[in-house]
A and B are shown apart, each in its own frame.
Chain A
């Protein structure tokens, strides 16, 4: 049992939330692992379980197939695969979890990129019998590329390798080699059996050689990433609320903190002003921090509008029309050198042209690559490595609005 004693939460006024993503294929037992997390954390309710039991029986299975808890669309149930990112919600007395459940097949890299983009932790699943396979490396590469702060290597199906410590250690060592190559900052390996329930929610009775936490324990304890207190303030303006003569610049703080009295710079104009007031949804405050949605008032009449970026303190963003970035191509139609596109960065959308693809002629769906873009208007960029919010962008097809590519700025 998980001890719920000493429930000390760092969140103000309640418990906090961990957003996580799973990667691994159906064959690795991912749906079963997710089903087990939901089931054993008591997040599955009687009617859902009844539906699963009914469906399992009708397929001639004798035990409820927990994977059925998470297979949502008819096409998936018919094909027995997961074709899209699904979001699951579960909670313990200590923390709430938003889980982006992403398919593991190689053609669905884009789905893992999507899930990982908002995740503070990624669970990479391997089958203990097969160890680290090509797909595992791809998952690790995506986690590294998207800068997911925490990675768990869940070595599943330990029951099928006799719960052996040697097998586990060999896989961990193998993965560590790949992680180093990818400059993945670190990872937490956990031996589990999703089917039998070992080390998912309850500690395993079969692996006394493993002294670490069960998976859910780790998820409850891992620190959630508030951005560092000294992160530079980045405030993309979403919308201008006009009230009488007063303009309130509304948006969500992307990083850092803003205080009343701060000298600020508005990009791309470069004009400066001072913050005379900050409101958090109708309540005046002296200081606000990411990721709060706020509105600010400035001392001077400035022509500030949606798409502008307000910054304060040291560490200004780079104002440029030349964008270099790592990318994952998401769409079925390819991206080619010379393509005219739109770039969506924070609240700003600008026209751009693809200048180079680092030697590649084109990018096709699920390709990871590098890109050079020239934009029609300057963007206020941060390196993705330092800010996942202001270093990220989308490439959009101006013809029909399709989201083509996800980009991570490399300054």
Chain B
């Protein structure tokens, strides 16, 4: 754990972001009964958990974790998830998309993409677990619809997000009051950018699943992305597998998360690559956000992260 020595008058931008995020975690701990952290094993949720650990040290984190498992996750990421949960003595809740498909509640899409199928298992788990605050790793820099997201984002009993019902958020006064059955999504990384997240992970020596770093992998081309071959639905006819050196900028469902050609095998090289990149992280790697200009906005309304 590092702390900022204060000799000057202004906090560095990482220290300011860290202080703000910790403040948000503590606000939720003080105002809510049953908070939970959405934890996917992706870098943003890893940073969230690290901040939560710091916010309550020397005591343990007073929240459980919740993972929406699409069933198409990278094994490296699931391993990482389980190790972290064990290391910190945390409680993990899993909402499984596969369960819903097996029960016939959800149907597999023709394209094999399961990201859009996460909404129902997530919202039902929030209801059954009676979680009143749900931390998400969303950042406002990710996508245009997210630029308007509040730190405390009110959701109705159907988890729906109504942009016109969001409360104005002033100073650092977060209003988390809600009716029974409603909950609040909380985004402690709202003001972070992709580069901030990486610089912070470097500074804090945070371990990541190794698929974030350059490695040899069997991939095939679909659209303009390199996808990992696997039982989830690829390669199909006309798609050929080849071995390439790649890494992932984001980690989600295997079916819609693309790898990028990269030789960045250390965190410093990753940071240099991102700083020089001419593509946003989602633009480079996420098929699901490209579905339509308003794709993210529609999914947020339905209760997606």
Contact = CB atoms under 8 A, between A and B. Distances in A.
A310 interface: no
A13 B15 contact: yes
A283 B22 CA distance: 14
Contacts of A250: 26, 55-56
B12 interface: yes
Contact of A396 (B15, B163, B175): B175
B283 A229 contact: no
Interface string A87-107: 111010000101001000000
B87 interface: no
A293 B8 contact: no
Contacts of A330: 168
Interface in A192-208: none
B31 to A, nearest CB: 8
Contact of B171 (A12, A289, A388): A388
B148 A85 contact: yes
Nearest to A50: B283
A111 interface: yes
Interface residues of A, number: 80
Interface stretch (A125-133, A155-163, A212-220, A235-243): A235-243
B250 to A, nearest CB: 14
A61 to B, nearest CB: 16
Interface string B11-23: 1111110111011
A353 interface: no
Interface in A219-257: 224, 226, 229, 238-239, 241-243, 248, 250-252
B81 to A, nearest CB: 23
A393 interface: yes
A15 B30 contact: no
A345 B12 CA distance: 27
A38 to B, nearest CB: 11
Contacts of B16: 16-17, 291
B240 interface: no
Given A86-B148, A114-B169, A117-B171, A12 B6 contact: yes
A363 B179 CA distance: 25
Contacts of A134: none
Interface stretch (B39-47, B126-134, B274-282): B274-282
A392 B170 CA distance: 9
B2 A87 contact: no
B92 interface: no
Interface string B278-291: 11100110000000
A72 B6 CA distance: 38
A113 to B, nearest CB: 7
A77 B14 CA distance: 34
Contacts of B269: none
Nearest to A228: B9
Contacts of A346: 173
Interface string A51-65: 100010000000000
Given A281-B3, A401-B167, 9 more contacts: A14-B13, A47-B283, A84-B163, A113-B170, A226-B10, A283-B1, A330-B168, A389-B171, A396-B177
23 contacts: A11-B12, A14-B14, A45-B277, A46-B279, A71-B144, A73-B148, A83-B163, A91-B195, A113-B170, A224-B10, A238-B26, A241-B57, A252-B23, A280-B3, A282-B57, A283-B2, A287-B6, A291-B19, A291-B20, A293-B26, A346-B173, A347-B30, A393-B173
Interface of A: 9-17, 45-48, 51, 55, 70-75, 77, 83-89, 91, 96, 98, 101, 110-111, 113-114, 117-118, 224, 226, 229, 238-239, 241-243, 248, 250-252, 279-283, 285, 287-289, 291-293, 306, 330, 342, 344, 346-347, 388-389, 392-394, 396, 400-403, 406
Interface of B: 1-16, 18-20, 22-23, 26-27, 29-30, 54-59, 140-141, 144-145, 147-148, 163, 166-173, 175-179, 190-191, 193, 195, 277-280, 283-284, 293-294, 297
